[in-house]
């Protein structure tokens, strides 16, 4: 017999003549054992005896699994033996053999079941010394556990930070139904750059901000925090929405921690006598909000100024918009319209059509529906960019008392 697929070479033939088969077995560079159907060792080579310090007569008749450390015995009974029985083979099982002196020898085990011509099955077990490999694997496992813990901590930190950058809940405003939705990019491991806020200015007026900071992660989080708090602080001192965004612009420019920039919308809202919502608004380089009429018409409102924190001189506009009862004003970040499916972009047109068709009552329901549509468009998979949507709806007036 020769090696499959080759003519016997001279070297092969010589090795065959010179190698003593018993010597091949006894001093093989691995432990070699045979066991009967019950797992009792019937034959074992010298290498295994040398490695483990057992005499041959101590091993023969003993069940192989009793040589293993107790935890490995359970694994043997629950995995190794069933697998061997059903598949006829197991490979690369890691275990510790308890040696004659009580020391543990880490090994890798391969085994096959062989049908003996006389009926009874034999199990052939080969054992490889794996001390160094197993020590290395243990280090790798410990490293992986450390890495998993670190990733979990990073995720928790990102979520915590994200929460501090968004309002915990929407306030209840007489005459205005407010809804908001936010979805972080990817798996939420990175702090996103989108932000929004709704807060009270005085007895009648409310401030609404929504924006998108360039980038993600810690650098973006600095500007996001700066934007949210600067807008809040400035808005109580001035009725001018453009003055608020201009103040933010200068705050970003002067901020030493970052060279980033952002786009933002800022609106003030108060409710008129007939239930109509009066808005003043400015847009700093941000997509303009969409006004959805009760008949489903969708109109962009306001004028788009410059990005904030980028170039001087800054140009901003200030516009007035009225939202009648039943009408909705939709503020969104580019995570909605720049959602991608392969090469295809979600786009403004699709958002206009969606809003024209939805006719959803309830600001929160509308915000959720827009977010869901953008996420679905991407196949529901991990979104590329974060998405923020705020909806202001003129509340239908309750029937007169």
Partner 1 sequence: MTIRSRHNVRVTGPDDGQPMVFAHGFGCDQAMWRHVAPRFADRYQVVLFDHAGAGGSDPAAYDPERHARLEGYAEDVVSVIEGLDLHDVVFVGHSVSAMIGALAAAEAPERFAHLVMVGPSPRYLDDPETGYIGGFGREDIDGLLESLGSNYLGWSAAMAPAIIGNADRPELGAELTESFCRADPEIQRRFAAATFLADNRADLARVRTPTLVLQCSDDIIAPDVVGEYVHRHLAESELVRMAATGHCPNLSAPDETAAAIDSYLRARR
Q: Is 146 in the site for partner 1 (CB under 8 A)?
A: no
| The one segment of 82-90, 270-278, 294-302, 313-321 that binds partner 1 by CB under 8 A | 82-90
List the one residue out of 72, 66, 77, 81 whose CA is nearest residue 107: 72
Cα distance between residue 115 and residue 335, in whole Å: 64
The count of other CB atoms within 10 Å of the CB of residue 288 is 16
Q: Is 217 in the site for partner 1 (CB under 8 A)?
A: no
Q: Is the peptide bond before 369 cis (omega within 30 degrees of 0)?
A: no
Which residue from 2, 9, 27, 87 is in contact with partner 1, where contact means CB under 8 A? 87
Q: Which two tokens stand for residue 98?
A: 């308890």
Q: Is 30 in the site for partner 1 (CB under 8 A)?
A: no
Cα distance between residue 222 and residue 361, in whole Å: 36
Q: Among residues 88 and 175, whose Cβ is nearest to partner 1?
A: 88
Q: Which two tokens stand for residue 104?
A: 């543990």
Assign residue 326 a region: left if phi > 0, alpha if psi is -120 to 50, beta otherwise? left
| The one segment of 134-142, 160-168, 191-199, 375-383 that binds partner 1 by CB under 8 A | 134-142
- Residues contacting residue 92 through CB under 8 Å, at least 6 positions apart: 108, 109, 110
Q: Among residues 40 and 250, whose Cβ is nearest to partner 1?
A: 40
Using an 8 Å Cβ cutoff, are 63 and 40 in contact?
Answer: yes
Which residue from 83, 255, 322, 364 is in contact with partner 1, where contact means CB under 8 A? 83
Binding mask 261-290 for partner 1 (x = CB under 8 A): ------------------------------
Residue 138 CB, shortest distance to partner 1, in Å, is: 7
List the one residue out of 138, 125, 141, 135 whose CA is nearest residue 52: 125
Which residue from 30, 43, 88, 303 is in contact with partner 1, where contact means CB under 8 A? 88
**DSSP-based three-state secondary structure for 23:** helix
| The one segment of 15-23, 43-51, 111-119, 222-230 that binds partner 1 by CB under 8 A | 111-119
Q: Is 85 in the site for partner 1 (CB under 8 A)?
A: yes
Q: Among residues 117 and 399, whose Cβ is nearest to partner 1?
A: 117
Residue 187 CB, shortest distance to partner 1, in Å, is: 18
Cα distance between residue 54 and residue 326, in whole Å: 88
Q: Is 141 in the site for partner 1 (CB under 8 A)?
A: yes
Residues in binding contact with partner 1, number by CB under 8 A: 39
Using an 8 Å Cβ cutoff, are 43 and 29 in contact?
Answer: no
Q: Among residues 139 and 357, whose Cβ is nearest to partner 1?
A: 139
Rounded (10°) angle between helices 347-358 and 363-377: 140
Assign residue 146 a region: left if phi > 0, alpha if psi is -120 to 50, beta otherwise? alpha
Which residue from 114, 150, 239, 311 is in contact with partner 1, where contact means CB under 8 A? 114
Q: Is 259 in the site for partner 1 (CB under 8 A)?
A: no
Which residues of this protein are in contact with partner 1, per CB under 8 A? Answer: 37-39, 63, 65-66, 69-75, 77-79, 81-83, 85-95, 108, 112-115, 134, 137-138, 141
């Amino acid at each position: 017999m020769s090696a499959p697929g080759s003519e016997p070479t001279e070297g092969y033939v010589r090795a065959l003549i010179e190698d003593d088969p018993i010597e091949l077995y006894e001093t093989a560079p691995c432990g070699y054992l045979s066991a009967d159907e019950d797992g009792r060792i019937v034959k074992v080579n010298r290498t295994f005896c040398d490695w483990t310090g057992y005499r041959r007569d101590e091993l023969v008749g003993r069940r192989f699994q009793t040589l293993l450390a107790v935890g490995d015995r359970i694994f043997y009974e629950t995995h190794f033996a069933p697998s061997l029985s059903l598949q006829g083979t197991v490979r690369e099982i890691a275990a510790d053999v308890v040696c004659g002196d009580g020391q543990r020898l880490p090994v890798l085990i391969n085994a096959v079941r062989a049908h003996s011509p006389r009926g009874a099955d034999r199990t052939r077990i080969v054992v490889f010394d794996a001390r160094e490999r197993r020590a290395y694997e243990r280090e790798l496992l410990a490293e992986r556990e450390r890495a998993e813990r670190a990733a979990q901590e990073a995720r928790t930190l990102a979520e915590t930070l994200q929460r501090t950058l968004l309002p915990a809940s929407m306030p209840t405003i007489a005459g205005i139904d407010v809804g908001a939705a936010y979805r972080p990019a990817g798996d939420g491991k990175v702090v996103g750059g989108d932000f929004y806020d709704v807060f009270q200015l005085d007895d009648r007026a409310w401030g609404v901000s929504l924006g998108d900071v360039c980038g993600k992660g810690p650098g973006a989080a600095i500007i996001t925090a700066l934007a949210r708090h600067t807008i809040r602080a400035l808005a109580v001192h001035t009725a001018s929405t453009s003055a608020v965004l201009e103040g933010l612009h200068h705050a970003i420019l002067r901020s030493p921690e970052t060279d980033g920039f952002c786009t933002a919308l800022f609106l003030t809202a108060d409710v008129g006598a007939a239930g109509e919502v009066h808005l003043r608004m400015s847009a700093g380089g941000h997509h303009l909000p969409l006004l959805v009429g009760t008949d489903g018409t969708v109109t962009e409102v306001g004028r788009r100024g410059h990005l904030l924190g980028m170039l001087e001189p800054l140009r901003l506009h200030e516009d007035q918009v009225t939202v009648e009862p039943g009408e909705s004003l939709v503020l969104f970040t580019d995570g909605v319209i720049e959602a991608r499916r392969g090469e295809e972009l979600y786009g403004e047109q699709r958002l206009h059509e969606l809003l024209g068709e939805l006719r959803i009552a309830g600001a929160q329901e509308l915000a959720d529906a827009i977010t869901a549509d953008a996420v679905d468009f991407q196949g529901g998979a991990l979104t590329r960019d974060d998405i923020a949507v705020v909806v202001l709806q003129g509340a239908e007036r309750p029937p007169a008392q």
